[in-house]
Amino acid sequence: MKRSALLPVLPALALLLAGCGGTAGADDGRPSVVASFYPFAFVTEQVGGSLIQVDNLTSPGVEPHDLELAPQQVGDVQDADLVVFETGFQAAIDDAVKTADRADGTTIDIADVVDLLPAAEGEEHDHEGEEHEGEEHEGEDHDHGDVDPHTWLDPQNMVKATRAVEASLADLDPANAETYASNADAFVAQLEDLDADFTAGLETCETRTIVTSHAAFAYLSDRYDLTQEPIAGIDPSNEPSPRDLADITSLVREEGITTIFTEELVSPAVARTIADETGAEIATLDPIEGLSSDTSDETYLTLMENNLEALRTANSCS
């Protein structure tokens, strides 16, 4: 399989630094954009380049599900020319957008741009559909409604997000519309290459089931004909019940699954317990919800390519 030749992208460091500042009070004539977390900040940077200023509301290393906004950041949501977010993923940002007077600004809700998948997909570990009376599940998914918010793990959804950002920036700054269009075309070409790599790379896998730390990979699984079996639900802070752990452990043994996938911003403790019980290995499958100290020199594109290689190894793809 040919690995896509990634075009030069803006360094991840620029996005890390963007998360440290705010748009309020920095009036240099460029459109000011607030992005809810890393993937949407990255898309916006690729389209806008140096013509815009982007503030990533989720600092590196912060689990975005748990984000709380400082008063300055709430003010940034109010004052920015453009806000890029996704309803149902980060409650604090949903609240800030709802309470802000955005009459003079533009908002892109990615939930309105892409087709959403139901949150229930891949989350039931009771494979015969039985009810287990008297069993309490620790924590319930919250703030996500009935859909899975992890839309960005399908490159084609990122294409749609890119085009939405391009259109909004062109409206805000018509004088630079051609540059935004050119930047968007270049980034879409990279996303199309990434999609082609995944399609070819996962076509001949011996195993099509993946066991993941939490239910973040429905879009990736749906796009590339995989079956996700998550240990936790949409919210990674929710712990699985003993019955869920027993079901996942049985599944790993029965299907001969060799790898339990964990991730950068979530504790691997439960995944390691299942791996120790079954003899499976631990590997990283990054939901790309944010950068960390270990991935600060990566980008969405390189992290997705890393995910592809991890999947090919785990699922014995020729």
Of 92 and 121, the one with more pLDDT: 92
pLDDT grade for 13, boundaries at 50, 70 and 90:
very low
Instruction: Determine the CATH number of domain 200-314.
Output: 3.40.50.1980
Q: Residue 181 pLDDT more than 90?
A: yes
The pairs formed by 181-184 with CB atoms below 8 angstroms and a separation of 24 or more are 183/46, 183/47, 183/48, 183/49, 184/46, 184/47
Which residue intervals of the chain bear CATH 3.40.50.1980? Answer: 12-130+137-196, 200-314
CB of 240 closer than 8 Å to CB of 126 = no
In the structure encoding, which two tokens stand for residue 104, read together?
A: 């003079």
12-130+137-196: CATH, from 3.40.50.450, 3.40.50.2000, 3.40.50.1980, 3.30.300.130: 3.40.50.1980
128-138 average pLDDT score: 39
User: Confidence class of residue 40 from pLDDT cuts 50, 70 and 90?
Assistant: very high
pTM to 2 decimal places:
0.84
Task: Give strand ranges (E) for the chain.
Answer: 32-35, 53-56, 82-85, 106-109, 117-118, 147-148, 209-214, 227-232, 259-262, 281-284
Digit-coded pLDDT (tens) for 270-292: 899 999 999 999 999 999 999 98
